Structure 1
C-alpha cells in the first residue's frame, strides 16, 4: 500500500475521531444522551477501522475488525443466555437495533476499542513477545470497562441480576471481560500482528477515549462520580500515557504522521 493510500485512510480516521469527540460532547450536554450512543460508537469503530487500514491495508483491517465484531457478539450472545462469562445480565430495549438480544452497537464497540487496545499493546510491547502483547491488549480493553459499565447502567441500557461493589457491577464482569478481551486480542494478533510499527492513530483513539471518559465522570455527568473518574482514568491512563509517548517518538523518528 502506497503512502497516498495510507495518508487517505489516516485522514479519514482523524475525521471520524474528531466527529466522535463532537458527538460525545453533544451527548453530554443534551437531555437525551442515549440517542447519541449509536453515532458515537459508529464513529469510534469507523475511525479505528480507518487507522487500522492505514497501518495494515484495507483488506487486513476489514478482516481484523470483522473478527473483533464476531468475538464480541458471540460473547454477548452467550452471556445474556447463560451468564457466562460476565455474570447474569440482560439488555433492556433502550438501545436498538438488536440482533438476538444483543445491541448492534455493543458488538461494534468491541471492535472499535479492541482495535485501539491492540494498537496500544503493539506500541508498548516489542516484537517477539506475542503472549505479553495479548495480555497487555486484554488489560487495556478491560480498563475501558471501568468507565463503560457504570455509564451504561446510568443510561439503563442493561441490568445485572446481582450487583457488585463497584457501582453495582459484579467482579465476575471484569473477569469475563479480561477473558473475552484475551480471545479478541489473540484473534487480532493473528490477523494484524505481523505489522508492529507505531499505530499512532489507534493509540490516539484510546487516549482520547480515556481523557473524555475521565472528564465526563469528573465534571460533566450529573451526578458526578469521582470514584469512577479516578479508577477508570488511572487504569486507562496507565496504558494511554506511555503508548502515546512512544507512538509520538516513533512517528517523529520516521517522519510519519498519524497512522
Structure 2
C-alpha cells in the first residue's frame, strides 16, 4: 500500500493507483481486525462500515446531504448509483482503523469512544478530499474555504463517522484496539503528510500540516494506552 502511494505521487497519472491502494487498505484493515477481534466480527464490522459509508455517499450525491453538493467524475470504476465502489471500501478500511484508535484512547467505551472515532476518521478527510479533488475524482458545486472544500463536508463526515463507530462497536462487541489497525492509521497519517509535503507536484504544506497534526493528535495518545485484545 505504501509503495503504491509513493508510486502514485511520482507517476504522471496518479489516479490510476487509487483503486489498488484502497483495496489494499481495506484488505489490511480486515486482516488486522480479524487478528484483534476474530474473523467473524472483523468481516461484520467491515461490512457495516462499508454499508453506512456507501448509503451516505448515495444520499449525498442525490440530495447534497450531509456533505454538501458534489459529484463524482467517471475516473473511478465500477460505480453503483453514481458512487465508486472503492469509496465504500475506503469507508470500511479507515473506519476500522479509526475505531481502533478510539478504542485505545477511550478504553471505557461509550459515547466518548464514538466521538473520538468520528474525529479520527474525519481527520483523515483533511488529506483525502484535497488529494481526490486535485486528481479530478470528484468536485464540489460551490467552493469552500479549505482547498475548495466546504465546511458542510466535514460536518457530514463527523455525522457519518459517528454512525460508523456505533455500528462497528456494536458488531465487534466493544472490543479493544489492535496493534495492526493502529499502525495502519498511523502509517496513513505519516504517508499522507510526507506526500503533501514533498512528493506531490505541487506540494501543499498547508494540507500536510493540517492533516498531519489532526491525525497525529489521535494517533499519538492511542499509542500510549495499554493494549486490549
- TM-score, reference length from structure 2: 0.97
What residue in structure 1 maps to residue 100 of structure 2? 119
- Deviation at 1:243? 1.3
**Unpaired segments ≥5 residues, structure 2:** none
1:55-204 equivalent positions in 2, closer than 5 A? 55-127=36-108, 129-196=109-176, 198-204=177-183
- Deviation at 1:231? 0.5
Cα distance in 2, alignment partners of residues 115 and 88 from structure 1 = 27
Equivalent of residue 16 in structure 2, options 35, 42, 47: 35
Which whole-Å deviations, capped at 9, do the CAs of 1:193-245 have from their partners, x for residues lacking one? 4322x411100000000000000111111111110001000100001112123
Cα distance in 2, alignment partners of residues 54 and 66 from structure 1 = 17
Question: Alignment partner of 1:223: what SS?
Answer: coil
Cα distance in 1, alignment partners of residues 41 and 113 from structure 2 = 19
What residue in structure 2 maps to residue 210 of structure 1? 189
Which has the bigger relative contact order, CA under 8 A and spacing at least 6? 2
- Deviation at 1:106? 0.3
Question: Alignment partner of 2:139: what SS?
Answer: strand
Cα distance in 1, alignment partners of residues 100 and 189 from structure 2 = 14
Q: Is the 8 A contact 1:207 1:244 kept in 2?
A: no
RMSD: 1.2
- Deviation at 1:134? 0.4
Question: Alignment partner of 1:169: what SS?
Answer: coil
Q: Is the 8 A contact 1:150 1:167 kept in 2?
A: yes
Cα distance in 2, alignment partners of residues 242 and 112 from structure 1 = 21
Question: Alignment partner of 2:149: what SS?
Answer: coil
Cα distance in 2, alignment partners of residues 214 and 99 from structure 1 = 31
Cα distance in 1, alignment partners of residues 98 and 227 from structure 2 = 18
Q: Is the 8 A contact 2:76 2:137 kept in 1?
A: yes
Q: Is the 8 A contact 2:6 2:199 kept in 1?
A: no
Cα distance in 2, alignment partners of residues 149 and 104 from structure 1 = 17
Cα distance in 2, alignment partners of residues 49 and 250 from structure 1 = 18
**Unpaired segments ≥5 residues, structure 1:** 1-19, 252-258
Which whole-Å deviations, capped at 9, do the CAs of 1:106-138 have from their partners, x for residues lacking one? 0000000000000000111022x4100000000
